[in-house]
Amino acid sequence: MDKYIININTLVLMDNGDNSTKIIEKYITFNINNNIYNIIDESCKFYGSSFKGRCKSTEYLLGIKLKVPIIISESKKIIFFPTMSIQNKNCVWFNLNSVDKYYTIDNLFLNISLINDLQIKIKCSNYTFNNQYLKAMRLKSILKKNL
């Protein structure tokens, strides 16, 4: 399978290397033969915009240009945020609504508990993850106010 549209059950997108993405949904985990950028761009287009259009919108609404959260779908209230620069292969994208709690394992790793009780360990500081999470929460708040 190489096509995938992000939906309300999509929790996490992780790069597998070799142009492959690990997709964690609420009830199942699987791989897609496509990269994260293409999956996000196709999903944004499916819901009425594009990745670049969503980035411009976030830049306008939040006044930030780096590591911006993305509104995938306004009507379904799907917002994803990256853990680091999207050019970095270690970047993991989280659905804002999928994160239950998170804590530092050591200075380099973070454990994230998802709403489906799955635990994910990623290379990211608590500070960075929290900052990205808060950007996405601000975007959600603005979106809710504007709608």
pLDDT tens-digit readout, 20-70: 999 999 999 999 999 999 999 999 999 999 999 999 999 999 999 999 999
What is the reported pTM?
Answer: 0.94
Output the pLDDT for position 2: 78
Q: Are 6 and 43 spatial neighbours (Cβ–Cβ below 8 Å)? A: yes
- Asked whether the predicted pLDDT for residue 116 surpasses 90, the reply is yes
The alpha carbon of residue 108 and the mean position of all alpha carbons in its chain are separated, in whole angstroms, by 20
- Asked whether the predicted pLDDT for residue 1 surpasses 70, the reply is no
**Could you tell me the two tokens for 93?**
């994208």
For β-strands 29-32 and 70-73, DSSP reports them as unpaired
